[in-house]
Each structure stands twice: as C-alpha cells, then as structure tokens.
Amino acid sequence: MKIDKIKDSLAEKISNDYGTWHTVLNNTQSKNYVCNHWKVEINPRDIEIDIPNGTFSANDGFFSSNVKLGSSSDEKDIFYNKAFTAKGKFEFETKFDNASSLKIGEIDIEIEIDIF
C-alpha cells in the first residue's frame, strides 16, 4: 500500500470512527446536552506515519458538532468546533482476495473538552 493511500485511509477512518468521537463527546463539559450532528475534518497531508512501527500522528484536525443544552425542545443549537490532534497504532489486514486494508488498533485524541 502506498504512503498516500495509507494517509487517505487513516484520515477516512479517523473521521468516521463513531466510537472514538462518541467517547470525546461523553467526556466534554456540561453533561446536560444532546448532540444533533458531528463532523470530523482532517487532511491526509497532516498525518505522519511510521510504517515499520505501525504508528501515526495527526495534527490540525477539527471536530465540530451541533449540541442542544437542556431537555427543552425550544433550546437553540450551539455550534461546537475544536481543533484536535491524534496519535495511535494501525495494522494491515489481508482480505480474502489478497487485497490489503488498514485497521486502527488504538487511537488517542487530544482535544479541549470544554464545549463552552
């Protein structure tokens, strides 16, 4: 797998990892909110990889979401946008057709957890 393809795959997996971002939201300040939508933006060029050790680090990513405080339906959505960095491990998996795919083994997100 070429380096650019590895970076593209990592950016896609980081951006779509529900479990990771669910954990980030669960650890934010102000527990009395509902998340209506979240989005992660990360440029593959901002990802550094170490293939022999199967590690990566990512800089300059942005996590955004719309949250609604309280349980009242008349509350307005509040836009939450924070920069983040990430580091973790990845590994290659061989599929049944001998094609390689990439799997994130672990990931650590550094982000300011205070929504407000």
State the Cα–Cα distance between residues 84 and 40, nearest whole angstrom: 10
Q: Which amino acid is at 42?
A: I
CB atoms within 10 A of CB 76: 8
- Each residue's pLDDT tens digit, 8-24: 999 999 999 988 988 88
pTM: 0.83
State the pLDDT at residue 81: 87
The yes-or-no verdict on residue 89 having pLDDT over 70 is yes
- Each residue's pLDDT tens digit, 37-67: 889 999 999 999 999 999 999 998 999 988 7
